Amino acid sequence: MRVEMRHIYKSFGPVRALQDVSLTVEAGTIHGLLGENGAGKTTLMKILSGYLRPDRGEILLNGEPVRFASPADGLRYGIGMLHQDPLDFPTMSVLDNFMMGCENGFWLDRQRARRALQELARLFGFDLDPEARVDRMTVGERQQLELLRLLRQGIRVLILDEPTTGISAPQRAQLFDTLRRLAREGKTVIFVTHKLEEIEELCHRVTVLRQGRLAGEAAPPYSPRRLIEMMFGRSLSKPERRPALPGEPVLQIQNLIAGDYRLRLGRVNLTVRSGEIIGLAGMEGSGQHLLMRVCAGLIRPWEGCICVRGRDLTGKPYCAFLDAGVLFVPANRLEEGLISGLTLTEHFQLVYPTGGYLINWERARAEAQRRIQEFNIRGEPETMVEALSGGNQQRAMLALIRKPVHLLLLEHPTRGLDVESSMWIWQQLKEQAQQGAALMVISSDLQELLEYCDRIIVFFGGQVSEPMNAEELTTDQLAQMIAGYGWRG
Asked if the bond preceding 239 is cis, omega within 30° of 0, the reply is no
pLDDT above 60: residue 213? yes
Record the pTM.
Answer: 0.69
Cα angle: 318, vertex 349, 323; to 5 degrees: 25
d(CA 13, CA 277): 41
Cα angle: 16, vertex 159, 38; to 5 degrees: 30
CB neighbour list of residue 148: distance below 8 Å, 6 or more residues apart: 98, 117, 120, 121, 124, 126, 128
pLDDT in tens, 413-428: 887 777 778 888 888 8
- pLDDT of res. 334: 83
- pLDDT of res. 237: 62
pLDDT in tens, 254-282: 999 998 767 888 889 999 999 999 999 98
Closest by CA position to 26, among listed 176, 215, 217, 193: 217
Pair 411, 331: CB distance under 8 Å:
yes
pLDDT in tens, 186-210: 999 999 988 888 899 999 999 999 8
Order of strands across the sheet with 15-25?
15-25, 3-12, 56-61, 64-66
Kindly list the structural domains of the chain, giving each domain's residue range(s) and its CATH number in brackets, ordered by start. Answer: 3-232 (3.40.50.300), 249-482 (3.40.50.300)
